[in-house]
Structure 1
């Protein structure tokens, strides 16, 4: 099966590669990791493709041969898991999903002093986990404007016991007030990512 160009809704344009590098993943491989026992994998895969059309999952490359699959960094596994967990809570807001996307896939310039610790916040979480840290969570914050009632969302990654994590820009915007926060423990999905990441490093080495 070939992925059609119009099924990709990401903001970036994926680079073209002849075949998938060992360090990138297809939608099917992401589905293998984020589909729990007893859950229909095809349904999960279709939902991941829908996330892609909405621009939530960001591909970094696309094959020019074979299946012509879109290819993703491992951090998109974390994002997929977060989107599924948000769905379990009935959160269907596009703004909330985009807040999760930004939290996993993009740094803010205030998140580090000199150089970013990894390509994306999500990749930083994976690297930190592989170094032995098991305390990362994703937080979805909601804010409300006290005058017009507008609700806004922002996401961050946090290792609160160590005082680490990305910042919340919305808290610097005086008109907005904190309303609620939803936390997703990332250790469960990281435990599933780790064997895959280890195997891929061994292949690359």
Structure 2
């Protein structure tokens, strides 16, 4: 089982404003290249979107590394106060009793480990964590992190599922050749996942927890 991190495992920016982080990153970009971002990006609440835009426009540049490091720092701060997604912890523990689990995420590995270290009985459930590279290369929908997890665990693709909450997760799973379960706690996310092509979507992890407990018994 492959888990995306922010969403299916926790709400990373539950107490650490994503809009404030976005503004911090946008200000750093504007100091170097004031015309690179749009006003919509600057005023949004999608810090990863800022990094994605910079990486696409200036691949391999010092600016990409600077923005990635800023975002990684803010993600680690956010991880300390992140809120577990409802039913995520018992789902993870239940699945870990019979499945190999890994995290495949566009978030920084440092932030993921920071969070997992605070969750007694959950962090040890994951055999591996594959997060964002400092170069910001291979962000999902690139399947790179999923392929790394499959290679490290030796899991068969036709026996692997990914739980994700974004179209990029679905597309990465499709390219990697693994199954996909969409998690959509908001109607807008469900719509986006269906538009991307996802067919199996749950609105609460309770549905997966009940299914996992039924299969185990």
Higher share in helix: 2
Higher share in strand: 1
Structures share fold, TM-score greater than 0.5: no
TM, length-normalised to structure 2: 0.27
Higher relative contact order, structure no. (Cα contacts within 8 Å, ≥ 6 residues apart)? 2
TM, length-normalised to structure 1: 0.28
